[in-house]
Amino acid sequence: MNPKPKTLTSDILTLTFTRLVLNFTRRFPYPFLPEISRQLSVPLESVQNVMAVNAGVGIGSPLLGPIGERFGRKRVMMGSLLAIVLASLLGALTPQFALFAGVMIAFGIAKMLFDPAMSAYIADHVPYVRRATAIGITELSWAGSLLVIAPIAGYLLGASGLQSVFIVLAIFNLLALAAVYRYLPADHPTGDIPRPITPLATWRALRSNPASFGAMGYSMLLVIANEIFFINYGAYMEATFELKLTALGTVTVVIAVAEVVGEFVVIGMADRFGKRRMALLGAGVSSLGYVVLPTLSFSLPLTLAMVFVIFVGIETAIVASIPLFTEILPNARAIMMSSNVGAHSLGRLVGAMFGAWLYAVLGNFAATSAIASGIALVSWFMLWRFVHEKQEVMSNEQ
């Protein structure tokens, strides 16, 4: 039995606000890493390494993410938010690097637990024919979080320091925790997965449908390709067009806007035209864009336009695939979605390392982008070959 439209709307708005606030913890440091390093009296590289670990802990998602199958999605989301509140208060005590590192790693673990539980919760409550719209709305929180938290964090860092940023994060996440407790209906464990959740149980669940490995391969390779491009595009833009720091910041805004547009593409089109079809389209557009962009070095506006197109494509490819993947293991959604988070995190880590090495060895952005394009095309093939839209799910709910 599906929830009433008013209840469903309330659930999605609550989750969107909650994930917006949770994403503050991931995105606030990036524009201000040099200032944070100065306030902590450590080299910039030290803070960058902490942020790499913050993102990289998601590799462990297949081990911890499935606890949503045992304890319920809502409880896991509330526990993640409570952990963020406590970690934020701890970070507000004193500006010490070791403490900052511990807090940021705790943030990464909390996000690793929250995201699969949220995706599984939406899949449990939203009919498949509307699921891309619902997930697309919640994904607006990713780009939106940077647009909201950047000016707040910038002001607080300048006015009263890093500790005040952590206090504000604690307040926001406490509000999110209260919203989840008050407005989200309780859910219960599915009872279909052995308890406790073990790596062996997770492996068995994934093996029950080979499409799960195709989905994870798609996600990992798609992210590897984008990271190879993303980690090098700043140096390319700076060298090719002699851009200053402020101009590179404008490029970042272009990317944030492109992410929002990609999410709206999924909201408006994926349920109507098919999640798989939109994911394939987005992956194809981004893979071609990697090759085309270096050929536009004669024009900054055209290059920026292609950057915009690439990130609309990549965001569409990622967001449209999420509701598609929720039906691969319908009786073990937290396991499937946490494994997908792990694939994304591994892709970011491998892509960043491999991309930096490639550019150092080749010394050529066009060649590096061509390799990224080839990897993205393999990703496209894996989705096309191994993951299919379940037409029977769509027809039964229409």
Tell me, yes or no, whether 329 lies in a domain: yes
Tell me, yes or no, whether 398 lies in a domain: no
**Domain extent at residue 83:** 5-190
Read off the amino acid at residue 227: E
Q: How crowded is the C-beta side of 151, counted as CA atoms within 13 Å?
A: 4
d(CA 260, CA 256): 6
77 and 185, same structural domain?
yes
112 and 58, same structural domain?
yes
Q: What is the CATH number of the domain that holds 235?
A: 1.20.1250.20
Structure tokens at 110: 């909390």
d(CA 155, CA 159): 6
Tell me, yes or no, whether 394 lies in a domain: no
The domain total for the chain is 2
235 and 184, same structural domain?
no
pLDDT bracket for residue 2 (50, 70, 90): low
Structure tokens at 44: 């910039």
User: Which of 163, 190, 217 lies at the terminal end of a domain, its last residue?
Assistant: 190
Tell me, yes or no, whether 195 lies in a domain: no
324-368 pLDDT per residue, tens: 999 999 988 888 998 999 999 899 888 878 888 898 899 899 999
220-245 pLDDT per residue, tens: 999 999 989 988 887 788 789 887 65
Q: Given a cut of 80, is residue 70 above it in pLDDT?
A: no
Tell me, yes or no, whether 21 lies in a domain: yes
170 and 226, same structural domain?
no
Q: Which of 348, 384, 334 is nearest to 80 (CA)?
A: 334
Read off the amino acid at residue 137: I
153 and 87, same structural domain?
yes
> What are the DSSP E strand ranges found in the chain?
none
Structure tokens at 302: 């055209």
d(CA 4, CA 1): 9
State the DSSP code for 318: H
Place of tokens 């494994």: 339
Q: Given a cut of 60, is residue 193 above it in pLDDT?
A: no
239-265 pLDDT per residue, tens: 898 876 556 666 777 888 999 999 999
pLDDT bracket for residue 197 (50, 70, 90): low
